[in-house]
Chain A
Amino acid sequence: MKHYSAFAVAREALRYHTGWERAWRSPEPKKRYDVIIVGAGGHGLATAYYLGKNYGIQNVAIIEKGWLGGGNTGRNTTIIRSNYLQDPSAAIYEKARSLYEGLSQDLNYNVMFSPRGVMMLAQTQHEIRGYQRTAHANALQGVKTEWITPERVKELVPIINLDGPRYPVLGALWQERGGTARHDAVAWGYARACSAMGMDIIQQCEVTGVRSENGHVVGVDTTKGAIDCDKLGMVVAGHSGQLAEMAGFRLPLEGIALQALVSEPIKPCMDVVVMANTVHGYMSQSDKGEMVIGGGTDGFNNYTQRGSFHHAEETVRALVETFPMISRLKMLRQWGGIVDMTGDRSPLISKTPLGGCFINGGWGTGGFKAIPGSGWGMAQLMATGHSPLTEAFSLDRFKEGRFIDESVAAGVAH
């Protein structure tokens, strides 16, 4: 792999950019790998990357049904924060956020991490108490957040309307070191680094079955033939249930649609991420100038990657009151992704009933921000059988009643 640098840009400028090479190889699958990861999204690629980097396991294949980063990694609103109430959540999201800070250097790929600050508006008395509690919890967890007044909100976000009749802004939980990153670049950067370590990224290859002997996984059947492995990692977000069924067990999660939309590009007007959980809306401005808007999930099971129009309407209707200037904006694109929701709205990173088979899923509406931490913990779990970062997120927590209840702590918009 050729190193990306300012020097490389200058060198290529002098020879008509003929020297750039493909960022990753697209090989045919080998007969056998030590580890197979199903799903070349952010979480799958990050898992493979840290398996190679932290544990020297480089005989790895990452199998992808479509194209890499084409699922929820390419469909989210790119928000990165770690202001969670529960300790296990704060730990893994803060690990992820801190890894994002150095990710561009680590991967030698610009993921455009922009720590512009994330603000979660309190618009009811209940939210004031909730966010103050979260701010105190974060102080104990070592996550830097603070409770700020409406005046400070207005300073940071001049376009906001503080005293809307239905949704007044009463304060906010502010995480200065949260922000956004370029979602595709995160997948591409990990893919390039994995490929450089000799891992095979096999796209357009669908897993059709999971083979096991004596309760231990031995390989997978795919549309490109059977591939053997010692360990299998399932990192397929919305389709976790289908893959688990192939492996012979069921999961405590359901797939529902979450949608987002972007406006036409406008001049810079808001340089922080604003989330308004009472009204299920959040908004940031991309580097291109588009206002990126996310909303609530549909309430019903759905695999179509498109959401209901009235949910987009509800989101925009509420945001227009808080940000009156966006009422004149045209919306350019709207899309949906399938998020896999667990009973307590926290992820699953766990061993499974099938030996040698691991699951990383159930990230629901909050997966993108967790990618580096999720990969770090999942790699540790797969390589050593135990990870302090992920042990609370095991499958048996539901049976044992050890919920990590973020549905109450974080409202709806994760």
Chain B
Amino acid sequence: MLTLHCPYCGVNADETELDAGGEAHIKRHGPGSDDNQFHDYLFTRENPKGVHLERWRHAAGCGKWFHAARCTATLEVFGTYPAQVYEPPQDIKDAISAKRPGWSWREFE
């Protein structure tokens, strides 16, 4: 069973306590954007077989949203980090690079 460390309350929460919130760091395109940007914002997803940055909510715990870096091919968790960031902090990027050299995610690496 998937276990994620909640960066707020410090609990190692298992999957039954958590709600999956899908892909993280999606750039919002709202009024004024063109159709393609709005389409990509709403529907197009990275859907990688490998490193995935995603949002989770500690639903049966503190109730707060956080981010996780995880591998969709092995279910390995590289780390979790708070929600108030636009990209993963350096220690998370380093943790991913240590296990998956050369990984990339849109403009991050």
Contacts and interface: CB of A to CB of B under 8 A. Distances in A.
A and B pair up = yes
Interface in B1-50: 1-2, 15-16, 19-20, 22-23, 35-36, 39-40, 42-45, 47-49
B48 to A, nearest CB: 8
A255 B39 contact: no
B104 interface: no
A301 B54 contact: yes
A308 B44 contact: no
A308 B15 CA distance: 9
Interface size class of A (residues with CB under 8 A): 20 to 34
B20 A300 contact: yes
A253 interface: yes
Interface string A215-247: 000000000000000000000000101100000
A275 B95 CA distance: 44
A300 B54 contact: yes
Interface in A297-316: 298-304, 308-310
Contacts of B2: 300, 308
B72 interface: yes
Contacts of B45: 250, 252-254
Given A301-B47, A343-B42, A343-B43, A310 B15 contact: yes
Contacts of A22: none
Interface in B66-81: 70, 72-75
Nearest to B36: A399
Interface of A: 239, 241-242, 250-255, 298-304, 308-310, 342-343, 398-399
Interface of B: 1-2, 15-16, 19-20, 22-23, 35-36, 39-40, 42-45, 47-49, 52, 54, 70, 72-75
The 9 closest A-B pairs by CB, nearest first: A299-B20, A252-B43, A300-B20, A241-B47, A399-B39, A398-B43, A343-B43, A254-B47, A303-B49
